[in-house]
Structures are given as structure tokens and as C-alpha cells.
Amino acid sequence: MKKLIFFITFVICLSTFTFAIAETKPVQFSLTPDVAVHDKDTYIRGLTLNVWGENPQSALALGLVNGSTGNSKGFSWSLFLNYAENYKGVQWAPVNYTKSDFVGWQSGILNYTKGSAKGLQSGFVNYAGSFTGLQLGFVNYAATMDKGVQIGLVNIIPENKWFTNLPNEFAKGMTIVNWRF
């Protein structure tokens, strides 16, 4: 009886392990999200090489357009565009867009995080719905800011008061530097 219970437990564990492996792939090659080695719902843990790719991932993503769905993380480098739902890590491209939350470093001409951004945004134009960290660019905008600094030609934090809460916050809009702590 003990051998039978052990065998059943072993088979269940093995099938669970095999099932988990079946849903995660180490490499993705993609021309478009629908013309790729693996389905766009397959979680990639490793490397993606894309003309235009879109997968949930924990990967090094290299391509012309890199898309990340769900809660993804890694290093995403693109010649044109990186976009994600939620992303942790590094995004480098001329345009970086995150629909919800971003943690890490975005670097490009335009960095746009619709939700919460924590970390560093460096580019010509940086935008965050809610920001914590450092925005470094010509135009920096944070709809709300918990704690952070903006350095650039135009720095806007609309929730700040005009010069009334120094040293915790500076101004709604400022050249060179603006902050909120």
C-alpha cells in the first residue's frame, strides 16, 4: 500500500512539474505576436528575439518592437518601441510605454508610464501617472509624486503648491529642478 501511495504521489508531482515546464519556454522567435515559435500566451523565461513580439516574460527581449503582457520583468531593448502591462527591470528604446506599473529604468526619447513608476526615467520627455524616484530629461511630468526629483528644462508636478511647502516640495512647475518629499 505504501508503494502505491508513493507511486501515485510521484506521478502527480511529475505531471505537475511537466505541466509547469510545458507552459514556460526558454526562447521565443517572433515576426508578429501571431506568427511566432510559441503562442503569445506562453511565458518566456530566457530570451526573445522579435521583429514584433508580445509575451508574458522574464527575459532578455531584443527586437524592433517588444511587447510584454501580464507581470513581466527583465531587460527589454528595442529599435522602436517597448510596451508592457506591468514591468520590472530595464526598458531601452526610442519609445517606452507601460500601461500600469513600472519599476526600474526607462531610457528613451519618450518614456510613458500611465500608472505608477518607481525608479529612473531618462529621456527627452518623461511622463508618469504616479512617480517615485528620478526623472531626468528635457520635459518631466508626474501627475502625482510620492518622493522624487525632476531635473530638466521643464519639470511639472501639478499637486505641488507654489513655494509654500519648502523644503518638502518646490513648485507645480519649474525649470532645472523640482521635487517632492
Domain residue ranges in the chain: 24-93, 101-181
When pLDDT is cut at 50, 70 and 90, the band that residue 3 belongs to is: low
Q: pLDDT class for 165, splitting at 50, 70, 90? A: confident
* Cα(181)–Cα(178) distance, integer angstroms: 11
Q: What is the pTM of this model?
A: 0.83
What is residue 2's predicted lDDT score, i.e. its pLDDT?
59
Examine the pLDDT at 42 and tell me if it is beyond 80.
yes
| 173 and 154 Cβ atoms separated by less than 8 Å | yes
The pLDDT value recorded for residue 1 is 57
Confidence category of residue 7, pLDDT binned at 50, 70, 90 = very low
Mean pLDDT check: name the lowest of 16-20, 56-60, 147-151: 16-20
* Mean pLDDT estimate for the chain: 89
